[in-house]
Amino acid sequence: MECIGKYYYSDGLIIPTASGEEAAAGETSFYEVIRTSEGVPLFFDDHMQRLQEGIGTRYNVPENLVEQIASGIRALFENQPFPQVNIRVTVSFTGQEHTLHICYLNSFYPTDKMYDEGVNVILYHAERINPGVKLLNIRMRLAVNEEMKGQQAYEALLV
């Protein structure tokens, strides 16, 4: 899932994407993908609860994390508004030190026809160690995306 847009948010700063690396870095990275509408993150509290609980399985949840994320989303939207777009919030750890990265993602939402007729879904044989925790696993994500593309699938279910 590549970041899109002119800017990304990193540890309190809005950074032009052309200025360098925009991927979150760390030994372990927790993430949430959140749909936004006019800069408002939908189901924000639910996403933040899952993110904090996931981090809490391995690390201390950073103080004021939710406020930092909300501030970062607002700052990103103020610099480049999108009517509807998904964002990825990533909290990465190296030791007990964390970094926060927020970026826009290429977003596609089902059409009315897709709701009426359904979509192609594939089964993919892979496993999340803890299904309630979203850990960044780039290798698996790329493999799933490639399989979905090859089978023209809208989504994949992990088996």
Task: Walk along the chain (159 residues) in steps of 10 and give the mean pLDDT of each run.
Answer: 88 84 74 95 97 90 94 96 95 91 91 94 88 82 91 92
User: Which of these, 101, 93, 151, 95, lies nearest to 122 by C-alpha position?
Assistant: 151
Coil, helix or strand at residue 78? helix
Query: Which pLDDT belongs to residue 96?
Result: 84
Query: Which pLDDT belongs to residue 91?
Result: 95
Query: Which pLDDT belongs to residue 19?
Result: 61
User: Which of these, 133, 50, 35, lies nearest to 87 by C-alpha position?
Assistant: 35
Query: Which pLDDT belongs to residue 15?
Result: 93
